[in-house]
Structure 1
Amino acid sequence: MNPAPRRLLALVAGTVLLSATAVALPATAYAHPDHPVSDEQATDWNNYERITLTKSVGEPIDMAILPDGRILHTARNGDVRMTDPDSGVTEVINNIPVYANSEDGLQTIHLDPAFEENNWVYVFYAPPLDTPSGSAPQTLPAGADESYWDTWKGYNQLSRFKWDEEADALDLSSEQVIIKVDTERGQCCHVGGDIAFDSAGHLYLATGDNTPASAPGANGYAPNNDAPGYNPGYDARRSAGNTNDLRGKILRITVQEDGSYTVPEGNLFEPGTEGTRPEIYVMGVRNPFRMEIDPKTDALTWGDYGPDAGTANPQRGPMGYVEWQSTSRPLNAGWPYCHGPNAAYNEWDFASSTPGEFFDCAAPVNNSRWNTGLTEIPVPATEPQLWYGDSADDQPWPELTDFGGGGQGPMGGPFYHYDPDNTAPGKFPEYWDGKVFFGEFSQNYMAAFTIDGPDGEVTKIENFLPEEHLDSIAAPPWRGIMDMEFGSDGSLYVLEYGTGFFQENPDAGLYRIDYAEGNKSPQASFTATPRSGQAPLTVEFDALASSDPEGGELTYEWDFTGRGEFSEGGVTASHTYTEEGQYFPRLRVTDTSGKYTLISLAVVVGNTAPEVELTLPADGGFFDWGDPVPYDSVITDVEDGDAIDCDRAAWQFGIGHDGHAHPGGTGAGCSGTIPTPSDSDHGETENTYGIFLLTYTDAGDGDVPPATGDASVYLTPKLREAEWAGEINGGQIVDDSTASGQRKVTALEAGDWISFDRFNFTGISGVTLRAAAPAGATVTLRWNAPDGPVIGEIPLEAADGYVSASTFLEDTGGETGSLYVTTTGGVELDSLLFRGNGVAESVGADEGLDALAETVAATELDGRVEKLLSNKVSVATRHHGNGKGDLAITELEEFQDLARDTANVPDSGTAENLFWAAQEVIESIDE
């Protein structure tokens, strides 16, 4: 996965940004306490504050703190921003042209250790090259040979640029290209890209395995698919498991004055060793998205993402572990042969879908036909210090899953070293000295580890600034931690992605955490309406959302240009902009003690941001993996008028998984069809869904840059496991090897319920429930509330095991809402399977009836009859979904006769049950 690293589409370079910047600054009254801070005080969360520095982060990836305290941060679309805490303003200072398919784009930014002398800034990114647009196919196109895959070859590169002190920007003409990492493009995932330096000046570069989590046939286990005809990008042995490839590695090099590099002594392979790359320091990593080096011990630490299997499989291998590791020596981390506690994967035959032998973690063998390195890997796999995954019964360090909830997203963080001579008011106390911090992207928490030496064990795990405390003081919660850095001031800076995918999220941002006893800074917030338009543009400002943690009075000061002086005003204000340009109006909110917070927004005069509305598909609509899903949009832009250029409309589809997403395809156009992947390939235990994003970038207006608007929808697979419910009230999730997702919700009694959010039943006419009720029960489906309108009722016969029962659903009017499942008691709920085409393309009624007339005389269950049955199902489903009950019943009666004659479906007693049972037979034909 990529932490979602998860933008599938980068926005067009130079687009206008309409986000907020904020910063809390010390007044004279705020002084760092001149007394020692006890351990009890250091772990009293009331002594910390979390300050918003900016909300203008794009799709945030990485940051670097300049010596003067300003922060550089990157977005995947190539934007480099700078946030100035003194002014509260964030601006895009550079745009580096990038290849932006899937997770590729602009990644990390890092200062040279001697930055104050040489002004070098390092950047890892994907240059545009001449790569085809869109996504690479899963398999060879008809008539092509394997040389076709060369079309998709590219590379990511580490470069460095000079910092121009006068321009306050990178000098893009000064670029030195240091190293290129060859990749397969047009596919997801795992770029890595983090940069670090040790005390000797050696540069470390982390790279991902360039292999999708959803590789065909992987099902959440090791993606080692080299079956004939398949994209070589589906085999992680060619990259992370290859001694002669730079992907899935941590590289260690020494950069020379001219931008070339040498290889220092002490890497994993000696220079000149056949079938190896001497730059490799650590091999066998999947996506070490964040790594750090302890400036005192040179310990190298990283968090590594894992695959998605929710449980171990005796034929495939372990559940999907994620890892945190620390080392002072080169090593093999094991992927894709072993993972977590050195649990071995099976050398699965992807061509025949049969198991082979299990890999030997002490002596892995690379049999991939794409391998360019050693077959016998001479370095055994090394177990990490920490690992964790989905299974509640297999967590050696339960804190790592108890602190939060959801999936796993390990982000390696920095070491803290206390400096008694540092007089900064917000520096962290000595209690945290020598501890290494850790961010959980998916579970939204931060932890601190105490480690017994660079290669030693983790002896203590602490939940730092817990989410419950942040909620209790109305401070910004953790939302997708991407990067963490301690500044020279001893405060912790945190860059966060937010909770959405592929776009600038409203809850993304850059924050600073200070140690601050006593009175806390106010929280500044304001809105500006409108945020863009033609001159003269009158904007109304409203700061009513600003607050003081202690409930004191606030004063409000406004600067409408972002470059002028503050003047005192009220909680609301108005200003008219008469000249075109981009402005950064600022608000300063001050409490009675003199503490204040700055916040700014971007206002664009001269170009109105476009508005994008998706009319298809419905948000929350249902589909099956592999379905073509039509989409359509309405795009309006003041300046473009009727001349909407649909070539400027770009879409991407993602495979959502818990709290992150994997890119799944890209395309262009205001309307068209989304070719969804044939399988999510995450395994039956994993909650996956579709995400569709459409963006439109206008043409700009003269000197005012283009602006982008977007819209997105979620798509829901028809099979929903009960344990994936968004909320469970009264029941509990337990493991069950006989359940379809290996788990179930049990002990659902009268008054209990589970709910699923963001459902839309367009094109859905029924549901089949798999449940157990030993004494019999009734399951009732309600809309938008536990006591809301009944849209379906399913009686369950008394039985010792699971039974399947079906019902049609009442029309919900095309609304997107929440489904509540209630019972009369004594129910164990496994899954819900929704019936109908949903938002997918479907065969029309006329075509279905024509097909029926032409093939009704067929006597064998061949492809024609299969199509006939499917069409008949489609017609009856459509009639029922459109409220034409009589026609639906007629179709069902005719279908009943046809099904008995051709599919040998037993009569289950009701039209509904026979209808769905017959459809299951039809579906089984394909399998």
Structure 2
Amino acid sequence: MKTTFTLLLSAIALILISATTLNKKVYESKAFDFFPKHKIDTPDQDRFVKVTLAQGEFTEPTEMTILPNLDILVAQRRGEVLIYKNQTKKIKEAGKLDVYFKTNTPNVNAEEGLLGMAADPKFAVNKYIYLFYSPFDKSVNRLSRFKLVNDQIVKESEKIVLEFYSQREICCHTGGSIAFGSDNLLYVSTGDNSTPFDAPKQQYVNKGYAPLDNRKGFEQYDSRRSAGNTNDLRGKILRIKVNEDGTYSIPEGNLFPKDNPKTRPEIYVMGNRNPYRISVDQKTNFLYWGEVGPDATNDDPLRGPRGYDEMNQARKAGNFGWPLFIGNNYPYKAYDYTNGENGNAFDPQSPINNSPNNTGLEKLPPAQPAYIWYPYGESKEFPQVGAGGRTAMAGPVYYATANSPYPTYYNGKLIIYEWVRGWVKAVTMNAQGDYVSMEPFMANVSLAAPIDMELGPDGKIYVLEYGKGWFSKNPDAAITRIDYLKGNRPPAIERLSIAKPSGLLPYKMMATVIAKDPDGGPLKYVWNLGKGITKTTNTPTLTYTFTKKGEYPVSVTVIDNSKASAKSQVIPVYAGNEHPTVAINLSGNKSFYFPNKTIDYKVLVSDKGAKVNTNRIYISNTYTEGTDLAGAQLGHQQAAQTLVGKALMLKSDCSTCHKESAVSIGPAFDKIAAKYKNDSKAVDYLASKVIGGSHGVWGEVPMPAHPAMKEAEVKKITEWIMTLGNKEAVKASLPTLGKIVPATAADKKKTVFTLKATYTDAGAAGLKPLTTTNVINLKSNIIDADDIKDFEGFERKDIYGGEKLILTKDNGWIAIKNVDLTDISGFSYSFRNLDPESDGEIEIRLDDSKGIMIGKSTFRKAVPIQIISDGKQHDIYFVFKTLKTGDKKKRTIIQSITVEPK
């Protein structure tokens, strides 16, 4: 989910015309003159592989630099400089700075520390390393030059190049990235050093919009004092030339002259919130950066636009708008924090900074729009970037040579990436640098919060992975290298499945992995069962009997004939305790619910090897949204909740900000479960917070909105969260035997009736309790046209205030799949006919449009059907045959089909 490095990292994305949906897209490149002027195939993404150089040895890595001998220096926020030795493949400490990285103020996170690192372009000769850090004993951010001698940072060699004031004991936004251009000019990014959260105990607050509070005593809530201030180095990207003696000079072409007392000549780009990762094109010297954006989830007529992350490009010096503008120069409005009244929207052509906290020019340079911009929700302009938390990062522009490790297809493309969402994209530009398109890059490589991406002297991309957890030592933090396999490719693993993930001793486990060799060769399977147990097979299945009690992490490594390998995810299995069984028995129809018609249910629980404690049974019913019969997953769904909700959580970006029980930027899931354990509406409440975003409940750091996530999947996640607090007996909210009279679905969010039963056992010695949930979904008996996905001879159109199906041919059919016909007497229809004079016939057929006919009628009558109670699910086909009046053919518009009960 998102947050404050928040903000420490967050704001970039791209997309428009993409090759995501195309496996082998034929693409005619128009980017730069050196591109081939013929059609070329998109490279196979499965040829990109991640080579892990070091993992699990890092504590908050921030930036790295690749030395000429392929040694890698890594800066860590808490002050350490580590060096990875290419020859020995080992990590050791190269030095440590005394840095300010933690506040003394409760519930306030500092983002400062050792933030940026770059090697001098002439490092092979001069051994200079540049570090951007926050010294412990002075409230500044500092750029210094050091010498690296015998793999050690020589502290006595420090030359302070520049430093500037930074307000402390507040959060957030540091920037801190360092990059050299091909002309040896040094770029340094700085954050706006402003608090994006609501000021405590105030009536009128920020709410995630631009911080424009100019009241005395609230200076930290006014980014006009920094990012919008031409006389302040915060919220900027600086450009300087470092002299041999460690001083610096101002190159030509920066934003302001050298002799104006209200401007700083070091400024190349102003109007930045948190330009956390920057990169310079080594041919054009265009500057790229990811801008981490604010948290508002919706546009507001009083305040202005919702939050966006940005990917920006500067071909020359300029003002990029913050805090007066965001995204495509969307303007904020002046806001009076004393009375809640707003003023006019700011003008991007003539922006004015009239804050009393401004020490620079009042009239600012015209604002430049973002290169790429995207909100929490799905982006209409750049749909490929997805939705969810945001933390934009700009990587290198890749140039191919004769011996390049990657295909020439990527020549001249900008590589961008997302810290929270985890994707990497290649952006195609034209000869002027304008955006053309975006496509996935190394799409099959999984990254754990990529925080830096650099091109090494060998032409390969190196990635620094922060790991999925805030302010901590993450086991998945790593340095990785991206290789491209021009010959043999490693196996591809689709999934690992365990037929029965738990059992009493002796526990017989049956595991199956679905994998293939892209090159068609045989595979070998090495199974890791945890606790030192390994097995090797030549088939993708393993049967193994555990005789000792315990939780075992099961995974498999698949190896081809050339020793290339791939490792599956880890699935825990439990020997010595077995998941309980939960059954829900219904009388009557198993596909639909009918208004005011009683649903009789009975819940049966068994727990092998233990007595069932009825106080641990939890039964509930609710209404949820269903888009179609298949999507609603009608009928029984029994699964171990730990394998459903938790799996969905791990696939989302939630695990970036929350851990099951450990401390991270957001509250631990078990603490959430404990807080709401007595709230019968906790699952729905927490789901609304995941989808709509939240702040102020657990502290000042907001949790991002996820408007594109499906409500049903979010509820599975929150159900799993609530099982973590199920350590005490829970009284069932409904009896195990009962009757429910459903009401008419009021809106599209209540078209599926869900009956759910959960049981958590008492665990076993040395083993945690196990939970099983069984769910029955019953669809509303009114099936709207937009819920129907299978048809022929019809066309879907959005008319009359919603999607309808229009019969465009003489004959056509509509199908409803997987239907229980028990206690169904027939079907009726809701039409809109453009020609009310004509009519037609409807035949209802079983399992095929030409199958057994079980009913027949005209359009205007309900269709009774032959009663079928075979206990099976059938596909129902409604075959429409129109009549003609002269030469004029009737058009029929279908709004809905109603299932009539017996």
Q: Above 0.5 in TM-score?
A: yes
**What is the Cα deviation at residue 283 of structure 1?**
0.3
Quick check: 1:78–1:95 contact (8 Å CA) kept in 2? yes
Aligned twin of 1:279: 266
**What is the Cα deviation at residue 336 of structure 1?**
0.3
CA distance in 2, matches of 1:65, 1:369: 44
Aligned twin of 1:507: 476
Quick check: 2:689–2:705 contact (8 Å CA) kept in 1? no
Change (3 A) 1:798 1:41: closer
**What is the Cα deviation at residue 288 of structure 1?**
0.9
CA distance in 1, matches of 2:428, 2:708: 37
**What is the Cα deviation at residue 353 of structure 1?**
2.4
Change (3 A) 1:727 1:264: closer
Matching residue within 714, 721, 725 for 1:759: 721
CA distances 1:723-761 after superposition (whole Å, capped 9, x unpaired): 974999xxx999xxxxxx999999999x99654156359
Aligned twin of 1:382: 368
CA distances 1:437-491 after superposition (whole Å, capped 9, x unpaired): 001112111001112246x42102011122xx34xxxxxx122111111112121
CA distance in 1, matches of 2:254, 2:674: 46
Matches of residues 729-768 of structure 1 in structure 2 within 5 Å? 754-756=716-718, 759-760=721-722
Which amino acid in structure 2 is aligned with residue 291 of structure 1? I
Quick check: 1:782–1:820 contact (8 Å CA) kept in 2? no
Which amino acid in structure 1 is aligned with residue 395 of structure 2? G
Matching residue within 415, 418, 429 for 2:400: 418
Matching residue within 453, 462, 471 for 1:493: 462
Matches of residues 89-128 of structure 1 in structure 2 within 5 Å? 89-101=90-102, 102-128=110-136
CA distance in 2, matches of 1:236, 1:748: 36
TM-score (norm 2): 0.56
Q: Does 1:223 pair with 2:223?
A: no
CA distances 1:295-338 after superposition (whole Å, capped 9, x unpaired): 11111111111111111111111111111111221000000000
Aligned twin of 2:43: 43
CA distance in 2, matches of 1:324, 1:798: 43
CA distance in 1, matches of 2:709, 2:159: 60
Matching residue within 451, 458, 463 for 2:440: 463
Matched residue SS, 1:756: helix
Change (3 A) 1:321 1:748: closer
**What is the Cα deviation at residue 375 of structure 1?**
1.9
CA distances 1:652-690 after superposition (whole Å, capped 9, x unpaired): xxxx9967669xxxxxxxxxxx9xxxxxxxxxxxxx984
TM-score (norm 1): 0.55
Name the % identity.
35
Which amino acid in structure 2 is aligned with residue 437 of structure 1? I
Quick check: 1:781–1:821 contact (8 Å CA) kept in 2? no
**What is the Cα deviation at residue 209 of structure 1?**
0.7
Q: Does 1:517 pair with 2:486?
A: yes
Matching residue within 223, 246, 250 for 1:263: 250
Change (3 A) 1:742 1:212: closer
Which amino acid in structure 1 is aligned with residue 96 of structure 2? N
CA distance in 2, matches of 1:721, 1:308: 24
Change (3 A) 1:420 1:339: same
Aligned twin of 1:408: 390
Matched residue SS, 2:62: strand
CA distance in 2, matches of 1:821, 1:781: 18
Aligned twin of 1:156: 141
**What is the Cα deviation at residue 589 of structure 1?**
13
Change (3 A) 1:821 1:96: farther
Matched residue SS, 2:164: strand
Quick check: 1:76–1:105 contact (8 Å CA) kept in 2? yes
CA distance in 2, matches of 1:790, 1:690: 40
Matches of residues 419-458 of structure 1 in structure 2 within 5 Å? 419-421=401-403, 427-453=405-431, 456-458=433-435
Aligned length: 582
**What is the Cα deviation at residue 518 of structure 1?**
2.9
Aligned twin of 1:679: none
Q: Does 1:295 pair with 2:272?
A: no
Q: Does 1:170 pair with 2:170?
A: no
Change (3 A) 1:122 1:827: farther
CA distance in 2, matches of 1:820, 1:270: 70
CA distance in 2, matches of 1:176, 1:277: 21
Quick check: 1:726–1:756 contact (8 Å CA) kept in 2? no
**What is the Cα deviation at residue 348 of structure 1?**
1.2
Change (3 A) 1:53 1:317: same
Matches of residues 695-734 of structure 1 in structure 2 within 5 Å? 725=687
Structure 1 unaligned blocks of 5 or more: 9-35, 131-153, 471-476, 524-544, 557-569, 573-587, 599-655, 663-673, 675-687, 694-710, 735-740, 766-779, 804-808, 829-927
Matched residue SS, 1:517: coil
Aligned twin of 2:232: 245
Matches of residues 587-598 of structure 1 in structure 2 within 5 Å? 593=562
Quick check: 1:690–1:716 contact (8 Å CA) kept in 2? no
Q: Does 1:191 pair with 2:174?
A: yes
Change (3 A) 1:246 1:743: closer
Q: Considering only CA atoms, is the larger Rg found in Structure 1 or Structure 2?
A: 2
Matched residue SS, 2:354: coil
CA distance in 2, matches of 1:316, 1:198: 38
Matched residue SS, 2:385: helix
Which amino acid in structure 2 is aligned with residue 159 of structure 1? S
CA distance in 2, matches of 1:657, 1:213: 21
CA distances 1:621-659 after superposition (whole Å, capped 9, x unpaired): xxxxxxxxxxxxxxxxxxxxxxxxxxxxxxxxxxx9967
Quick check: 1:757–1:818 contact (8 Å CA) kept in 2? no
Matched residue SS, 2:718: strand
CA distances 1:90-122 after superposition (whole Å, capped 9, x unpaired): 222222211012111111110111111111001
Aligned twin of 1:353: 340
CA distance in 2, matches of 1:202, 1:747: 48
**What is the Cα deviation at residue 414 of structure 1?**
0.2
Pairwise CA RMSD of aligned residues? 5.2
Q: Does 1:399 pair with 2:384?
A: yes
Aligned twin of 2:58: 57
Quick check: 1:39–1:431 contact (8 Å CA) kept in 2? no
Matched residue SS, 1:51: strand
Matching residue within 313, 317, 325 for 1:338: 325
Matched residue SS, 1:116: helix
Structure 2 unaligned blocks of 5 or more: 9-35, 103-109, 200-204, 493-512, 528-533, 537-556, 568-651, 694-703, 751-756, 763-768, 783-902
Change (3 A) 1:592 1:365: same
Change (3 A) 1:409 1:756: same
**What is the Cα deviation at residue 825 of structure 1?**
5.1
CA distance in 1, matches of 2:737, 2:267: 61
Which amino acid in structure 2 is aligned with residue 387 of structure 1? W
Which amino acid in structure 1 is aligned with residue 52 of structure 2? T
**What is the Cα deviation at residue 48 of structure 1?**
2.2
Which amino acid in structure 2 is aligned with residue 464 of structure 1? F
Which amino acid in structure 1 is aligned with residue 463 of structure 2? V
CA distance in 1, matches of 2:263, 2:243: 22
CA distance in 1, matches of 2:466, 2:428: 26
Quick check: 1:246–1:277 contact (8 Å CA) kept in 2? yes
Quick check: 1:491–1:515 contact (8 Å CA) kept in 2? no
Which amino acid in structure 2 is aligned with residue 58 of structure 1? T
Aligned twin of 2:29: none
Matched residue SS, 2:220: helix
Q: Does 1:200 pair with 2:183?
A: yes
**What is the Cα deviation at residue 386 of structure 1?**
1.1
Q: Does 1:129 pair with 2:112?
A: no
